[in-house]
Amino acid sequence: MKRPMFASIGPFFLNESRCERLSMKVIPLNCNHCSAPLEVAAKAKFVTCGFCKTRLSIQQTGSTYSTEVLEDLKEATEQIARDVEAIKHSATIERLDRQWERDRMSHMVTNKHGQHSLPTKGGAMVVGGMVVGFGILWTVIATGISTAASSMGAPGVFRIIPMVFPLFGVLFVGFGIFNIVSMLKKSEAYESRHRDYMQKRRELVSKQRQLDDDS
């Protein structure tokens, strides 16, 4: 039977496991919650205060040791996570705004004077209506001239030329209708994109406000 090993310290005798505990480096600390004195093994990462029963984390900075209440660390970590999330949301809003500005520019229409503007249903009806109205007026006048030329017994070539003029009016009417349809489609596409942008932005801003309130 193996005899236990003992170490002698003065008049006392200690077994081997007790010697190992005595040889372990112990650091004096104070509880960060109640300031009670603590003796903790240097390699320990956590300890429970024997006085207030608070769970503590052991922090080491160089050769200096200190304790930190785990709940405080948890709260600080959660606060950092909320701050990071708020920064990410702010960056997302800025990125969405930049993307929308590019989309907005792509929907711009240019008039004959080189001026840029956003397509609107009202503008489409006004511009297209003017072209259609001009085409109808042209057709009516040209038809009247053609009829008058025919009734006056003008030579064949002079009767044919006035008959061609009303066709230009028909072309104007067709172009005006095409312009109205095209502008209406562009206007609807722009409004749809704008609604999507505003909805996404409202959601992000609402989330951002919640994060700010939590902070």
pLDDT above 90: percentage of residues in the chain: 8
Residue 15: pLDDT over 60: no
Let me know whether 115 and 194 are in one domain.
yes
Tokens encoding 81: 């996570």
**Is there a single domain that holds both residue 116 and residue 23?**
no
Stated as kind and residue range, the H or E segment containing 213 is helix 156-214
Closest CA to 179 of 115, 114, 112: 112
- Work out the number of other CB atoms within 10 angstroms of the CB of residue 119: 19
Using DSSP's 3-state secondary structure scheme, residue 66 falls into: strand
Q: Is the pLDDT of residue 196 over 90?
A: yes
Tell me, what DSSP letter sits at residue 153?
T
Indicate if 64 and 115 belong to the same structural domain: no
Least confident of 62-71, 78-87, 103-112: 62-71
Same domain? 60 vs 132: no
Domain extent at residue 195: 107-214
Task: Compare 203 and 211 and report the one with higher pLDDT.
Answer: 203
- Is residue 85, in this structure, part of any structural domain at all? no
Entry pTM: 0.49
- Boundary-marking domain end, from 47, 73, 99: 73
33 — phi, psi (to 5°)? -95, -50
Burial-class residue 183 by CB neighbours within 10 Å (0-12, 13-18, 19+). buried
16 belongs to a structural domain: yes
**Domain assignment present for 187:** yes
The pLDDT assigned to 82 comes to 79
Do 13 and 64 share a structural domain?
A: yes
Are 58 and 46 in contact by the 8 Å Cβ rule? The answer is yes
Secondary structure (3-state) at 24 = coil
Of 58, 73, 88, at which residue does a domain stop? 73
Write down the pLDDT at residue 214: 67
Note the pLDDT of residue 94: 92
Q: Which has the higher per-residue pLDDT, 24 or 172? A: 172
Evaluate whether residue 56 is within a structural domain. yes
Residue 96 resides in a domain: no
- Mean of pLDDT values over 4-18: 39
Look at the chain and report how many structural domains it folds into. 2
Q: pLDDT digits over 53-82, tens only?
A: 888 888 888 778 777 766 766 677 777 787
Residue 123 and residue 183 in one domain: yes
Is 89 inside any structural domain? no
Asked if residues 37 and 46 have their Cβ atoms less than 8 Å apart, the reply is no
Residue 157 has a pLDDT of 52
CA distances from 49 to 27, 32, 72, 166 (A): 14, 9, 15, 101
> Whole-angstrom Cα distance, residue 78 to residue 40?
28
Give a yes or no: residue 150 inside a domain.
yes
For residues 125 and 34, membership in a common domain is answered with: no
Helix (H) or strand (E) holding 211: helix 156-214
Clarify whether residues 130 and 203 are in a common domain: yes
Single-letter residue type at 75: E
155 φ, ψ (degrees, to nearest 5)? -55, 160
Is the same domain home to 176 and 111?
yes
Residues 123 and 63 both lie in one domain: no
| Domain match, 112 and 60 both | no
* Least confident residue range of 10-19, 41-50, 105-114: 10-19
What does the pLDDT look like over 149-194, one tens digit per residue?
666 655 555 556 566 777 888 888 888 898 888 888 888 888 999 9
| Co-location of 66 and 113 in the same domain | no
| Domain annotation covers residue 15 | yes
Q: Which residue has the tokens 């900075």?
A: 61
Q: Which residue has the higher pLDDT, 201 or 63?
A: 201
